Amino acid sequence: MSAITIDGPAGAGKSTVAKALAKELSFFYLDTGAMYRALTLKAMRAGLDLNDEESLVALAKETTFDFKGTAAAPVITLDGKDVGDDIRTPEVTNNTYYIARIPALRAVVVEAQQQIGQMRDIVIEGRDTGTVVFPEADVKFFLDAKLEARSHRRAKDLKEAGRSVDIKNLKNEIQQRDHSDQTRDTGALKKADDAIYIDSTDLTPEQTVEVMLTYIKNY
């Protein structure tokens, strides 16, 4: 089985590019951020204290992740239910911090991701997919972009989803997320030594996919 990993900060364009790449290669697309988001939503709905690590780990252990839809555009389901856009609200986005920082919880989620990848060719995106989840991946990318570009992309996505946007707040939130993603003890956001670094600030998603395909074809 082949694995292509794409890691990088929020708003770098990972999801758009990973989906297009999965479609192009007929691989399965796995959005690892969606799994942390889905667990956050489940914990919030259950009214759990987000500082109670033991309960959050127990929650992760009793959760079944599954996917509906097509391989290149799967929709995550949590305990059999479609969570859809509910995992993309600002509340869930901000609370994911509490979930993603717990090493024992990450171990449960990483194992689920590895199982999914063992069964199929996969394009997987997140923060630690090339460093922790699939350190032996065939091709690894680290997708980055300047903060300004990332904030504007996120603003566009939110506007399209019908949400109100304050660009200054959004920029601050992204900076905070970058900081917590880069400084957590386990699964921190960092480029794997053997990952190919791509700055997408001045690239369209199509151009970024082209660049990636060139590397993949030469692999």
Among 187, 195, 203, 208, binds ligand C5P (CB under 6 A): 187
Whether residue 10 contacts residue 178, with contact meaning beta carbons closer than 8 Å, is answered with yes
Which residues, listed in sequence order, are joined to residue 142 by a DSSP beta bridge? Answer: 7, 197
User: Which one, 32 or 200, has the nearer CB to ligand C5P?
Assistant: 32
Among 96, 131, 200, 208, binds ligand C5P (CB under 6 A): 96
User: Which one, 88 or 146, has the nearer CB to ligand C5P?
Assistant: 88
| Residue from 50, 45, 58 nearest 100 by CA | 50
User: Which one, 136 or 218, has the nearer CB to ligand C5P?
Assistant: 136
Q: By CB under 6 A, is residue 42 in contact with ligand C5P? A: no
| Residue from 141, 139, 150 nearest 216 by CA | 139
Among 42, 122, 177, 195, binds ligand C5P (CB under 6 A): 177
Among 4, 6, 10, 78, binds ligand C5P (CB under 6 A): 10
Q: Rule CB under 6 A: which of 124-153 touch ligand C5P?
A: 126-129
User: Which one, 18 or 25, has the nearer CB to ligand C5P?
Assistant: 18
| Residue from 212, 219, 217, 218 nearest 20 by CA | 212
Per-residue binder mask for ligand C5P (CB under 6 A), 15-34, x = binder = -----------------xx-
Q: Tell me which residues touch ligand C5P (CB under 6 A).
A: 10, 32-33, 36-37, 96, 100, 126-129, 177, 181, 187
